[in-house]
Amino acid sequence: MTVSPRKILNERGLAAHKGLGQNFLADPGTARRLLDRAELPSGMFIVEIGPGLGALTAPLLERGFSVAAVEIDRGLSQYLEEELRPQAPDRLTIYSGDILEMDFRELAGGRASFGVVGNLPYQISSPLLFNLLEARENVSIAVLMFQKELADRLVAGPGDRTYGILSVFLNYYARIERLLDIGPEVFFPRPKVGSTVLRLTFKSSLDPAIKDEEIFKQTVRAGFAQRRKTLKNALSARFAPEMVEAALSAAGIKPDKRAETLTSGDFVRLANAFSTLSFGPGQA
Ligand code: SAM
């Protein structure tokens, strides 16, 4: 069975806004398959990003989850408030606003552990991932739909053409699994590209441990800022050249390597060497 987002939007005098990444899932079978594959622990509290017309919200509620859903489009949040919330008034809260300006922990009512689900608007995918990384101590699982191209970048490993800053960060902090590839035909309006659902499971212990998160971030960013350059040259734009040589040597990484060949673990060892050199072995 398909639902008709076009019909619902027409009936309420609404339109799909491209600028808000509004491609609504029109196939309940795909939504069900997505949630089947997601294997969210039963009873887990869910923060949903961009519920739209409720294509994922409704089946989440059917499966017994409690949901806090954040929708930026007032017409849509009002629709959900009127049509969906009455079906589960004590398990659905709808917030009208921009998820990038909200605090995940507050949305989850201060819970120590919760899940995040969303068919993400393309425009906010990258900043949202950085916000999720900040909240990772409480977000145990995130099941997110991305444009396929971005998902490919996120799951990329060293040596892949699309390997970059986000892949390094995400691979360090989370286990990433590709759950489902979805064609454009199940959305209204139809996007030009395919979509991919990923599950991120944030790790409870990190190995190797990072001595200084800020230096780790700076090391990864500096390495990729000039990805065609050798690490020695790229890192020298941020750190003193003699420190770069010492850190590379301490981490056992050849100076003529490029950032795109390093694993997350290599970056951590390198950043830890910078931390030790900056603050002295006793303090770092
Ligand atoms: N979840 C619905 C579905 O699968 O059919 C809608 C997905 S649609 C790709 C993305 C949704 O995110 C839209 O409803 C859009 O209005 C909403 N959105 C866009 N930017 C947002 C933001 N910054 N904060 C919250 N919601 C946003």
pLDDT of residue 284: 38
Segments in the chain below pLDDT 70: 1-2, 279-284
Quote the ligand 1 centre to 174 CA distance (angstroms): 24
pLDDT at 279: 67
The alpha carbon of 121 and the centre of ligand 1 are apart by a number of angstroms equal to 5
Instruction: Give, for ligand 1, the residue of 104, 119, 145, 150 to mutate: max count of ligand atoms closer than 8 Å to Cβ.
Output: 119
Give the chain as a DSSP string: ----HHHHHHHTT----GGGT--EE--HHHHHHHHHHH-PPTT--EEEE--TTTTTHHHHHHTT--EEEEES-HHHHHHHHHHTGGGSTTTEEEEES-GGGS-HHHHTTT-SSEEEEEE--GGGHHHHHHHHHHTTTTEEEEEEEEEHHHHHHHH--TT-TT--HHHHHHHHHEEEEEEEEE-GGGEESPPSS-EEEEEEEE-SS-SSPPS-HHHHHHHHHHHHHTTTS-HHHHHHTTS-HHHHHHHHHHHT--TT--GGG--HHHHHHHHHHHHHHHH-TTT-
Q: What is the pTM of this model?
A: 0.93
Instruction: Give the sheet arrangement for strand 67-71, strand by strand.
Output: 92-96, 67-71, 46-49, 114-119, 139-147, 195-202, 174-182
Contact 224, 231 (CB under 8 A): no
CB 140 within 8 A of CB 176: no
- pLDDT tens digits, 173-208: 999 999 999 999 999 999 999 999 999 999 989 999
Residues enclosing ligand 1, CB less than 6 A? 20-25, 49-53, 55-56, 70-73, 76, 98-100, 119, 121, 124
- Which pLDDT score is estimated for 280? 60
> 180 C-alpha to center of ligand 1: Å?
19
Q: How far is the CA of 25 from the centre of ligand 1 (A)?
A: 11
**Ligand 1 mutation target, pool 17, 71, 147, most atoms within 8 A of CB:** 71
pLDDT tens profile 96-131: 999 999 999 999 999 999 999 999 998 999 999 999
Cβ-Cβ contacts under 8 Å for 221 (sequence gap 6 or more): 165, 238
Quick one: which of 268, 254, 128, 266 has its CA closest to 198? 128
The pLDDT of residue 3 is 73
Atom of ligand 1 nearest to the CA of 31: 4
Q: Which ligand 1 atom is at minimum distance from the Cα of 52?
A: 14
Q: Which atom of ligand 1 is nearest to the CA of 50?
A: 12
